[in-house]
């Protein structure tokens, strides 16, 4: 019975979602700009992917077009090309605030949200561990509503946290360079491709 109910709820989400819209199709960097972090190192189009060079320490790419503030999903593929820290961490809107999904921070294996109630991904309940291999593509998906944030890596549930009534924010003020939506890396070279989003409704 529980399994049937879970399947029904999952199907309901799919049926109430709009079509996926591309943000990056691998053909050009149109709509994207380099995030001018201190020590930024440039972005490039290579092999149908957007390469984020290793910064000193930060580098990133920011979407310049419209992006929803709530009730949406984002999916993309990313890989760490060199280095051992986060390589394609998306910063994204949560209503009028922003949050970052740290992908492989604090030495390479910590994933989680920064920040919730002032606590970073390393210190709040979204902290999880994932072993990223350099040179391998991973599939990421993020779902954001004003009540909850959920995330998956290669279809494996990684984050499922209720956020209603809680303070959502960024670890550093500088992370706003990735807003409203963008990717950042730390002392690490990464690449992203197949970036898409869609709105959802209940």
Range of the domain at 172: 20-199
Q: How many domains does the chain have?
A: 1
The answer to whether residues 89 and 101 touch, using CB atoms and an 8 Å cutoff, is yes
In a domain, 12, yes or no: no
Residue 14 lies in a domain: no
pLDDT in tens, 57-107: 999 999 999 999 999 999 999 999 999 999 999 999 999 999 999 999 999
Residue 142 CB coordination number (10 Å)? 21
DSSP state of 72: E
> Is position 116 within any domain?
yes
Q: Assess if residue 6 is contained within a domain.
A: no
**pTM, full prediction:** 0.91
Q: pLDDT of 141-184, one tens digit each?
A: 999 999 999 999 999 999 999 999 999 999 988 999 999 999 99
DSSP 48-59: TEEEE---SSEE
Query: Is 8 part of a structural domain of the chain?
Result: no
Spell out the alpha helix ranges (H) of 52-108. none
Phi and psi torsions of 4, nearest 5°:
-65, -40
Q: By the 8 A CB rule, do 83 and 72 touch?
A: no
The CA distance from 133 to 103, in Å, is: 12
């Amino acid at each position: 019975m529980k399994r049937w109910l879970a399947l029904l709820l999952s199907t309901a989400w799919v049926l109430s979602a709009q079509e996926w819209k591309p943000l990056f199709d691998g053909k050009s960097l149109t709509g994207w700009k380099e995030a001018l972090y201190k020590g930024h190192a440039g972005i490039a189009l290579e092999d149908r992917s957007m390469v984020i060079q290793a910064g000193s320490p930060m580098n990133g790419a920011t979407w310049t077009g419209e992006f929803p503030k709530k009730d949406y999903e984002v999916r993309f593929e990313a890989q760490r090309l060199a280095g051992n820290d986060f390589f394609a961490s998306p910063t994204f809107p949560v209503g009028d605030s922003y949050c970052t999904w740290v992908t492989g921070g604090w030495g390479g294996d910590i994933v989680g949200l920064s920040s919730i109630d002032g606590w970073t991904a390393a210190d709040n309940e979204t902290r999880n561990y994932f072993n990223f291999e350099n040179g391998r593509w991973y599939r990421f998906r993020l779902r954001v509503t004003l009540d909850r944030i959920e995330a998956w890596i290669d279809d494996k549930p990684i984050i499922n946290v209720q956020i209603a009534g809680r303070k959502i924010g960024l670890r550093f003020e500088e992370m706003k360079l990735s807003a409203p939506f963008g990717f950042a890396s730390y002392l690490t070279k990464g690449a992203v491709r197949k970036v898409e989003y869609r709105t959802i409704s209940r």
